[in-house]
Structure 1
Amino acid sequence: MTEQVHGRGLAFPLRLSAGGVAESAGAAKVAESIRIILGTQHGERAMRPDFGADLRSLAFAPNNGATADLARHNVTDALTRWEPRIDVLDVTVAQDGARLLIDVRYRLRATNEVHNLVYPFYLEGGR
């Protein structure tokens, strides 16, 4: 059932399995799609220049509250726009050394299951 609703396709990142190329389905496919959205920079896709969360534009920003707030805003906006299979419940960003830990809580619309995903984003500027 969830495979029909959430999709099935090649796993991300691309890897091999015993039968060839690995596949994923259901809630795992949605989580992979979220990672793709968060890892894509605006302008990276020629036919969808505004796709993605544009987090890499923050790579050299200082690790402070303003950067964390901007990351939270970018993630919330991107997931709301580009992932129609979920409802974003909460996005929190914690500063951890030279990285931001982006914690996304979301609900799968088809099944009402609540999931979370922690996405580490490394800042080059550090503190």
Structure 2
Amino acid sequence: MVYLAHPFGVGGDGRTATSGVTDHVRDLVEQVLATAPGERVNRPDFGSGLLSLVFEPHDDALAAAGRAQVEGALHRWLGEVIQLEAVTVQSIESTLEVQVRYVIRATGERTATTFRGPVT
């Protein structure tokens, strides 16, 4: 199956860029993690709230709170698309690192993805 690429763009052939299921699901995970609740008009509770942790003190409590937020959001919004295996959130110096391991339900493919962002 072919999906629209995220972010939306034009491919090398001049047509709308597309992606396969693996990249599409990774894009969905990234959208859930990067969206703050209240950011989407018709889905005000969509997202993980992970970005709000950027302004919190950077320690083990931050990592634990981040893991709980990520797990809850992924189960709620992508529970039919992925089977979540593990979420690891680490605060390394000035970077928040989130690793998500999951199985894509449609294909049975195991995938691990890491997202990194700055914290203050």
TM-score if structure 1 supplies the norm length?
0.86
Pick the aligned partner of 2:4 from 10, 25, 40.
10
Unaligned runs of 5+ in 1: none
The CA deviation string for residues 62-99 of structure 1, in whole angstroms up to 9 with x for no partner, is 11011101111111111111012101100011222211
Unaligned runs of 5+ in 2: none
Q: How many equivalent residue pairs?
A: 118
Q: Using the alignment, how far apart are the partners of 2:39 and 2:66 within structure 1?
A: 18
Pick the aligned partner of 1:106 from 84, 102, 105.
102
Q: Using the alignment, how far apart are the partners of 1:99 and 1:68 within structure 2?
A: 11
The question of 1:52 aligning with 2:47 is answered: yes
Report the alpha carbon displacement of residue 16 of structure 1 after superposing the two structures with TM. Answer: 2.3
Moved more, 17-26 or 105-114: 17-26
User: Which residue does the alignment assign to 2:75?
Assistant: 80
Where has structure 1 moved over 4 Å in runs of 4 or more?
none
